[in-house]
Amino acid sequence: MLNRRELLAGAVLGLGPGVPLAMAFAGTESRLTGGFNLSGVLPMDAAADASWNACGGLAALTARWLSGPLFDVVDAGGDTHTIHAIDGYPDIKTFAALAGIDPKTGTGGLLCSKVHDQSGNGCDFTQAIPASQPGVWLIRGKIHFGFGGVLSQKALSLPAQFFNVSKRVRVNNRSSSVYAIIKPYCSNAGWVTDRGSPAIYAGTSMFSHGPSNGIGVIDLPALSGPSIAAPVTIQRSIYSHILSADSSQVSLNGAVGTAGPLHFGAAMGGHIGFQPGLAFSTAFSGRMQGVMMSSSALSPTQDAAVKSALNRYADIRSGPPSAIGKVNILIDGASFDQGQGGDPAGKYGTQNGGGYGWPEMLMDQLDGLEIQWNNIAASGNRIANCTATYGSDGHLCFNPSAAKNILMGPNSAVGNTMNDGKTGVQAYGDFLSWLTAVRVDDWDHIITYAFSDRSVDPEQDYTGLMVANAGSNRVTVVVMPPIEPNPFDGHPGIRGYETMAATIRPILSPLLV
């Protein structure tokens, strides 16, 4: 059995770990951007009078770092390599060669031991322990850090996976600013500063002033509502918090939530990522491309300039959830709809949700359109769970200001419903209950899918009822072709998800115009 390092190094889509380098480089462009856009003012330079304590990422964050060292990775043999910037962009060709994948179409990763500090303070983000090193993943030409269960971790057993922040970095809950480019797969996409055990990491349980023991907490779910419409977003986002003596503020893609000031003052050092055992250490399942830390509370003018630069830098076109004219899409369902099973090695047990599945493929393919993507799917969901979840979280994802609202669900929850012993007719009845619940909101289009290759009678009965009643139910039923490979507990691998995305896209695309 491959160990974690071998799995990361050999995880390949369409190419094997022994593919010659000449083949790996075939057909590549002269510059591979890694998913970044460095055409304008870079984020660290956007607010000229802002000071930065520690900044690191997968591309240059400042014009002073256009050829600087970005991050260190460890190859399958245990050797460390520094990936430098080329005109500010990450050296994707070198990284892909080390990972043994095609730089444009491959999907694979390497462990990361260091992220170089671009602030000039020498406060690199480091992790010397291999078992706790986050991965750097190249996914179809876009590069990310992976934390807590994305493509590399074991289901339901998340080990520590984080970078250490230098103790010379002071994080003051009365005066600090943090910005990150993230793609979250769960609602726990906040940051924590803990004076007793200093930590800066994603994952919390509340948004409050902080209890008397000195733990201050910021979290997204408790900020769900009119200002942050979606409790879960699966698209690339700019996350930030600004803490001052007067208030604490968190934002996601420009949607802002505020609360009172946090209790305590300075903490030094900490962590970025997921470290079990610390206070409120709910796992952050997602990807990150860069982080910027300041010991000052940036002014509104500075904040706007930095966010504008970050949006351009990360090639984010969608803006805040309340933007008028945007298409708003909600995905509701179960593990299929999280991309579970979609890790590059095809091993269902090696990741914990948030893998590379059809929603993310569609997101990348439709990246140039103004779409707000939301996902409230959960592992093991039955249709009845989806009905209840919609009432609590899904309803918040409906955007009456959007030009169109499209709902895709409950999809893979059907199979789980039948695992409870329900017949196809009973599962169809559950679907009608879900449909009644979601029609509380005026969705413009509702799309669901069914599987034509399932020979189990209850599912065939369900599919027949769905197709026969699609018109009267006012839903679009996408009947999937056979999904291969499909060997791991009923979950597709990447090629299976490619088939699903290719089948859904021609149904979805006409609805976006």
For 475-485, how does the pLDDT look when each residue is reduced to its tens digit (9 = 90+)? 999 988 887 65
Alpha helix (H) ranges present in 58-187? 92-99
Beta bridge partners of 109: 137
Band of pLDDT at residue 411, cut at 50, 70 and 90: confident
Question: Hey, what amino acid is at 423?
Answer: T
Average pLDDT, the chain: 75
Question: Hey, what amino acid is at 122?
Answer: G
- The tens digit of pLDDT for each residue in 431-450 reads 999 999 999 999 999 999 88
Please state, in angstroms and rounded to a whole number, the distance separating the CA atoms of residues 322 and 17.
45
- The tens digit of pLDDT for each residue in 450-496 reads 876 554 445 678 888 999 999 999 999 998 888 765 544 567 777 78
Please state, in angstroms and rounded to a whole number, the distance separating the CA atoms of residues 59 and 85.
6
Contacts of 455 (CB under 8 A, 6+ apart): none
Rounded mean pLDDT of 262-289? Answer: 61
pLDDT at 75 over 60: yes
Band of pLDDT at residue 46, cut at 50, 70 and 90: very high
Beta bridge partners of 258: 249
The pLDDT of residue 16 is 30
The pLDDT of residue 222 is 38
The winner for highest mean pLDDT among 67-71, 96-100, 360-364 is 67-71
- Contact (Cβ atoms closer than 8 angstroms) between residue 172 and residue 266: yes
Residue 462: both structure tokens together: 């369900």
- The tens digit of pLDDT for each residue in 91-124 reads 999 999 999 989 998 878 889 999 999 999 999 9
**Residue % of the chain over a pLDDT of 70:** 68
pLDDT at 361 over 70: yes
pLDDT at 228 over 60: no
**Residue % of the chain over a pLDDT of 90:** 34
Please state, in angstroms and rounded to a whole number, the distance separating the CA atoms of residues 470 and 107.
37
Please state, in angstroms and rounded to a whole number, the distance separating the CA atoms of residues 332 and 324.
23
Rounded mean pLDDT of 277-289? Answer: 57
Rounded mean pLDDT of 156-176? Answer: 73
The pLDDT of residue 192 is 40
pLDDT at 292 over 60: yes
Helices (H) and strands (E) in the chain, counts: 12, 23
More confident residue, 231 or 67: 67
Rounded mean pLDDT of 269-285? Answer: 56
Q: Which of 177-181, 197-201, 229-233, 309-313 has the lowest mean pLDDT?
A: 197-201
- The tens digit of pLDDT for each residue in 383-395 reads 999 999 888 778 8
**Alpha-carbon dihedral angle through residues 455, 458, 464, 465, given to the nearest 10 degrees:** -170
The pLDDT of residue 135 is 84
The pLDDT of residue 377 is 82
The pLDDT of residue 38 is 96
Rounded mean pLDDT of 42-58? Answer: 95
Sign of CA dihedral 93, 94, 98, 99: negative
pLDDT at 427 over 80: yes
Residue 435: both structure tokens together: 């449909």
Q: Is 117 helix (H, G, I), strand (E, B) or coil?
A: coil
The pLDDT of residue 342 is 65
- Contact (Cβ atoms closer than 8 angstroms) between residue 387 and residue 311: no
pLDDT at 30 over 50: no
More confident residue, 198 or 126: 126
The pLDDT of residue 317 is 64
Contacts of 368 (CB under 8 A, 6+ apart): 317
Q: Is 311 helix (H, G, I), strand (E, B) or coil?
A: helix
The pLDDT of residue 506 is 95
Please state, in angstroms and rounded to a whole number, the distance separating the CA atoms of residues 375 and 380.
15
pLDDT at 429 over 90: yes
pTM for this entry = 0.78
385, burial (CB in 10 Å: exposed 0-12, middle 13-18, buried 19+): buried
The pLDDT of residue 365 is 84
Rounded mean pLDDT of 143-164? Answer: 60
Place of tokens 């856009």: 37
Please state, in angstroms and rounded to a whole number, the distance separating the CA atoms of residues 109 and 13.
11
Rounded mean pLDDT of 287-308? Answer: 92
Residue 45: both structure tokens together: 């330079």
Domains, the chain, in order of start with CATH, read 4-152+159-313 (2.60.120.200), 327-512 (3.40.50.1110)
Q: 439's torsion region: left (phi>0), alpha (psi -120 to 50) or beta?
A: alpha
